[in-house]
Amino acid sequence: MPRFPEYRPRRLRRTAALRRMVRETRLSAADLILPLFVVPGEGVRRPVGAMPGVYQTSVDELLRDAAEAHELGIPAVLLFGIPASKDEVGSEGYAEDGVVQRAVRALKRELPELVVVTDVCLCEYTSHGHCGVIAGGGVDNDATLELLARQALSHARAGADIVAPSDMMDGRVAAIRRALDDEGFSEVAILSYAAKYASAFYGPFREAAESAPKFGDRRAYQMDPGNVEEALREVRLDVEEGADILMVKPALPYLDVLRRVKDSTGYPVFAYHVSGEYSAILAAAERGWLDADAAMLESLLAIKRAGADMIITYWAREFARRHGRSFD
C-alpha cells in the first residue's frame, strides 16, 4: 500500500458524491423491522411515555401503522401483545383469540405481503412478569418449554410467517420446531433471540409491554453482558436446534458479538436496536444535546456494518418517512 503523500484518504471525502461512491454500508427501509404493541379493544392508541413515537394500539389502529410501514417499504413487523388479563402461566399468550393472534389474522388478511414476526415469550402474559413459569422461587426452564411451544403454535395457526422466542429458556428452539412440524407448520421460520443479554436498555420496553418482573430480575436466564464466548455457544445450540435466523440483542453495546455471530455462522443475523437505545437518543435530543435523526442513522448504519442483515428498530417508520426507501 502506498503511503502519504502518495496515498491521501481525504481525496475521496471531498464531496458528498465522492463519499457516496465509496461508502461500504448503506441503509434502506428494506433493512428495518418495526416492532408494534397490540392491546385489546377498538380505537385504542395510547402513547408510551418513555418512547416518543411508540404506541400501544388495538388491532384496528395497528393495521393503520402496519399499512403505513408497508407503504414506506418496511418489509416486516414484530408483534408484542399486552393481554386483558394476566395469570401465573401466561395463558392469554396461547389463546386462539388472544390479542396477537387476532392482530396476525388481521394483518395477513389486509396486508398479505407484509412479513409478520411474533415475539414468543411469557413475560407480557404472566402476573409475575417473568419469561417463564415460577417454581421454587425461580423460573422453571423445562416446564416453560411446553407453554412457549403452545404460544408459537397459536401464532403459526393465526398465520405468522416467523416466530421469535425471546425468553432465553434452554431448549426452546427445539421444542418450538418440533411443535410446529408436528402440526404441519414446517414452513414457519424461527428467529431465535439467540444472544439476548440481561440489559439495562430494556427499561422503556417494560412500560410499553407492561412486562417488568414483579420481583427479582432476569439474570438467571438472560446473558451476562461480559460474555461473548458464551453467546457463540448459545448460537451454536440454537442453530443445531433448528433456528433459521439468529438475533443479537441489544445492538449497539454488543457489536462485537454481532460480528462474531455473523462470521462464525454465516446465518442471517438480525440485531435488535432496543427501547433504551432508542429512548436515550430521543431524550438527549429533547434537551438539544444530540441531533436525533443523525444519531439514529449513525447507530443503525454501525449495526449494519457490524454484520446485521436486518435491524429491529422503533425508528423504522421515522427513518423511511425522512429518507425514503433507499437512503444511502
Q: Which residues are catalytic?
A: 196, 249
Specify the residue for cell string 388478511. Answer: 109
Distance CA 306, CA 51 (A): 25
Closest distance of CB 284 from ligand PBG, Å: 17
Q: Does 131 bind ligand PBG (CB under 6 A)?
A: yes
Q: Which residues contact 157 (CB under 8 A, 6 or more apart)?
A: 96, 101, 183, 185
Contact track, ligand PBG, 248-287, x by CB under 6 A? --------------------------xx------------
Burial 266-291 (b: 16+ CB within 10 A, else e): ebbbbbbbbbbbbbbbbbebeeeebe
Q: Does 118 bind ligand PBG (CB under 6 A)?
A: no
User: Distance from first CA to last CA of the chain, Å, rounded?
Assistant: 28
Closest distance of CB 19 from ligand PBG, Å: 32
Q: Using the rule CB under 6 A, which residue among 82, 121, 251, 320 binds ligand PBG?
A: 121
* Max Cα-Cα span within the chain: 70
Closest distance of CB 81 from ligand PBG, Å: 11
Closer by beta carbon to ligand PBG, 158 or else 223: 223
Q: Does 205 bind ligand PBG (CB under 6 A)?
A: yes
Closer by beta carbon to ligand PBG, 267 or else 272: 272
Q: What are phi and psi of 171, to 5 degrees?
A: 85, 5
Helix (H) or strand (E) holding 286: helix 275-286
Residue with nearest beta carbon to ligand PBG: 205
Q: Does 166 bind ligand PBG (CB under 6 A)?
A: yes
Q: Does 123 bind ligand PBG (CB under 6 A)?
A: yes
Closest distance of CB 241 from ligand PBG, Å: 18
Closest distance of CB 118 from ligand PBG, Å: 11
Instruction: Point out which span in 118-126, 146-154, 183-191, 303-311 binds ligand PBG (CB under 6 A).
Output: 118-126
Q: Does 119 bind ligand PBG (CB under 6 A)?
A: yes
Q: What are phi and psi of 45, to 5 degrees?
A: -145, 95
Q: Which of 256, 293, 262, 259 is nearest to 278 (CA)?
A: 293
Closer by beta carbon to ligand PBG, 94 or else 202: 202
Strand, helix or coil for residue 232: helix
Give how far Cα 68 sits from Cα of 18, 64, 156, 314, Å: 33, 6, 24, 14
Interacting residue ranges for ligand PBG, rule: CB under 6 A: 119, 121, 123, 131, 166-167, 202, 205-206, 218, 274-275
